[in-house]
Amino acid sequence: MTLKIGVLGCSRVAEKYFFPYIESSKIAELNFIASRSISKAEEWSKRYNCKNFGSYTDAINADLDLIYISLPISMHEEWSIKAAESGKHVLCEKSATDSFDSAKKILKSCKNNNVRILEALAFRFHPQHKQIQNLINEELGDVQNFYGIFGFPSPPKNDIRWKKELGGGVLNDVACYPICASRIIFQSEPVSVLAHLKFDKEFQVDKSADIFLKYKDEKTAFVSSGFNNYYQSKYDVWGSNAKISTKRAYAVPQNYKTSIYLHKDDQIFETVIPPVDQFGLMFDTFCSVITNKTQSPYDFEKDLLDQAKLMESIRISNKENRLVFLSDLKD
């Protein structure tokens, strides 16, 4: 079975990751390109040899199996729900929502319409993280600390990341990665969070984030992200016997060979991970799950909700300048 795919939004992310993947996919075919600009949708349909194009509503009404939503975060709730109500599975770009309440509404719609949804944190599907889990189990001993950083030089002033009304800001766009990575490493959800976000005076969006997460058994994670930093995309995991560090953990280009470093007994052991298309692995996995060819590697819907709950706790902590317990937010 070949799935018919529609994409909402002619974004840079779609151009960089989705379209190169879909052109070579053996289990999915591009069937519809939608944009707020019909002329742009037509232009891209010619570029990518797609026979159908139109508005977002046209795509929702089309005969499709799955919708890939690559729109500004502020539009995710509306179009995820409309896609679900039309009986289509949803792959939604990160961050899937800008609030915990929004996440609950989206998931309720997906459940009521018997469709699946996956938040497109593609880094989760890169094989380096499975290898890291193996090293944690075999080498690190008692794991207590996670340190995650992700940041880059300031985007141009017209970049969507600076647009408050569209869901911009470093938390939604960048910090979400190491936050999610800490949850993967500890294989649980934090107990509490303390966060500080620094806001840009001109654009009124968060431009840096420093976040302290406390997990059960006194395990801790520290996350730092920013829009005005030397490029870094990595994390460290510190155990009683050794430490693991990464070279490129989150945004890993398709042709990029990355490495994992095990620091033990005053030596450093490198494991080289060959290049892979992590976006393609994510999309293939999702397609295989919704066609019942394979089981979910994790609970997609629960993960989206847990991530949204943690992100909301971070917003509350920063706004109210206090420690927030995740148990205070009710599912």
Span 19-45, pLDDT tens digits: 999 988 999 999 999 999 999 999 999
First-to-last C-alpha distance (Å) of the chain: 36
What's the rounded mean pLDDT across residues 80-100? 98
Q: Let me know whether 167 and 215 are in one domain.
A: yes
318 shares its domain with 176: yes
131-144 tens-digit pLDDT: 999 999 999 999 99
Classify residue 296: in a domain, yes or no.
Answer: no
Please determine, for residue 322, whether its predicted confidence score (pLDDT) is greater than 90: yes
Q: What is the mean pLDDT of residues 69-90?
A: 98
Residues 46 and 192 in one domain: no
> Does residue 265 surpass a pLDDT of 90?
yes
Q: Which one-letter DSSP state was computed for residue 48?
A: T
Q: Reading across the β-sheet that carries 192-199, which strands appear in turn?
A: 267-273, 258-264, 243-246, 232-239, 143-151, 220-226, 206-214, 192-199, 324-325
Percent of the chain with pLDDT over 90: 98
Helix axes 176-186, 300-320, angle to 10 degrees: 120
Q: What is the pLDDT of residue 318?
A: 98
Q: Percent of the chain having pLDDT more than 70?
A: 100
Residue 211 and residue 143 share a domain: yes
Q: Per-residue pLDDT for 191 more than 90?
A: yes
Residue 108 Cα to chain centre, angstroms? 20
Interatomic CA distance for residues 312 and 161, integer angstroms: 19
Domain assignment of residue 56, yes or no: yes
Pairing type for strands 232-239 and 243-246 reads: antiparallel
Mean pLDDT across the stretch 265-285?
Answer: 97
Q: Give yes or no: residues 22 and 162 share one domain.
A: no
**What's the token pair of residue 234?**
């990595």
Residues 207 and 194 in one domain: yes
Same structural domain, 144 and 110: no
Q: Looking at the domain assignment, is residue 172 inside a domain?
A: yes
Confidence of residue 331 (pLDDT cuts 50, 70, 90): confident
| Single residue among 122, 147, 165 that ends a domain in this structure | 122
Rounded distance between C-alpha atoms, residue 282 and residue 297, angstroms: 11
Tell whether 159 and 235 lie within a shared domain: yes
Q: Is residue 144 part of a domain?
A: yes
Instruction: Mark which of 104, 122, 140 sits at the end of a domain.
Output: 122
**105 and 160 assigned to the same domain:** no
Asked if residue 34 belongs to a domain, the reply is yes
Domain that holds residue 67: 3-122
- How many folded domains does the chain comprise? 2
Do residues 64 and 132 share a domain? no
| 66 falls within a domain | yes
Residue 181 falls within a domain, yes or no?
A: yes
The pLDDT value given to residue 229 = 94
Mean pLDDT estimate for the chain = 97
pLDDT in tens, 215-264: 999 999 999 999 999 999 999 999 999 999 999 999 999 999 999 999 99
The pLDDT, as a whole number, for residue 161 is 97
Residue 330's pLDDT band, with cuts at 50, 70 and 90, is: confident
The CATH number given to whatever domain includes residue 134 is 3.30.360.10
Q: Which residue, of 122, 142, 177, is where some domain finishes? A: 122
Structural domain contains residue 287: no
Q: What is the mean pLDDT of residues 37-59?
A: 96
Same domain for 148 and 52: no
What is the CATH classification number for the domain harbouring 33? 3.40.50.720
Q: Give per-residue pLDDT as tens, 276-313.
A: 999 999 999 999 999 999 999 999 999 999 999 999 99
Residue of 182, 207, 198 whose CA lies nearest to 121: 182
Residue 175 clears pLDDT 90, i.e. is over it: yes
Using pLDDT thresholds of 50, 70 and 90, give the confidence band for residue 1.
Answer: confident
Q: Do 117 and 249 sit in the same domain of this protein?
A: no
